[in-house]
Amino acid sequence: MRWIKEPKCRAASRTRRAGLLLASVGALGSALAAAQAPAAPAARFAVVLDAAHGGNDSGGHSSNWTEKSFTLALSVRLRSLLAARGISVVTTRESDVTLGAERRVEIANHANAQVCLDLHASLSGSGIHLFASSLAAAVPARFEAWRTAQAGSVTRSLALAGVLNAALQHAGMTVTLGRTALPVVDSMTCPAVAVEISPAAAGAHPSGESATETLNDPGYQARVAEALAAALVEWRADEGHLGAGQP
């Protein structure tokens, strides 16, 4: 058999076509791999709900009402509303148990959350009271001192209180804003606000209804929880916009 030598120009053309084909196949493979790669998970947004009191600590109480039961019921209701909106929730207690301040703080700080609401209730006063820590704002540190850990988040806590205030007022509630020393909140490393629910302001509930009856009213409890949930959804959106999702 006699071999016929292929002209150099034809051989070079064939080599170029083979190279282009291999490059095309490689590009297609890369594109398919990119398309099949799982999307990066969204940043986790978590909320800590701290139902104050519990166990042998009843908090405020009357003959047929205890603060510890009210805060637990509100925590459970709010947790359900937030979970339905895709928000991770960590609760400091799920039942009537005694829980010290240090344990509450440990749970909250370990959760690496973006918000903590310290839930309280009172038979005196009226409307909703929002309290941020009275600590002076400080630059956040990698390791925060236990009793003043909130100092690095005070500025954002005040902003959180503003968002909560707007949502509660939009729901027709009277809101009072304040700052005070709060042992639990002062030791938290994320934006934190104490929320104290008192009976609805005069004119916002049936005349003659007692403070206890107002706080025991499922409708009132639902309005408070819905407003708080709406505020936290807004806060989540703001956190994502500002790129401050993770502390």
Is the full-model pTM beyond 0.95? no
For 128-171, the pLDDT digits (tens) are 999 999 999 998 766 666 689 999 999 999 999 999 999 999 99
For 45-75, the pLDDT digits (tens) are 999 999 999 999 999 998 889 999 999 999 9
Q: Output the pLDDT for position 12.
A: 52
Determine the average pLDDT of the residues in 110-133. 96
DSSP string of 184-200, one letter each residue? HHHT-SS-EEEEEE-PP
Count the alpha carbons within 13 Å of 114 in the hemisphere toward its beta carbon: 22
Q: Which of 137, 135, 82 is nearest to 113 (CA)?
A: 82
For 199-239, the pLDDT digits (tens) are 987 655 555 568 888 899 999 999 999 999 999 999 999 87
**Lowest-confidence range among 90-99, 138-147, 177-186?**
138-147
Q: Output the pLDDT for position 8.
A: 52
Tokens of 89: 């929730």
Q: Which domains does the chain have, with CATH numbers?
A: 46-242 (3.40.630.40)
* Pairing status of strand 61-62 against strand 65-66: antiparallel
d(CA 110, CA 112): 5
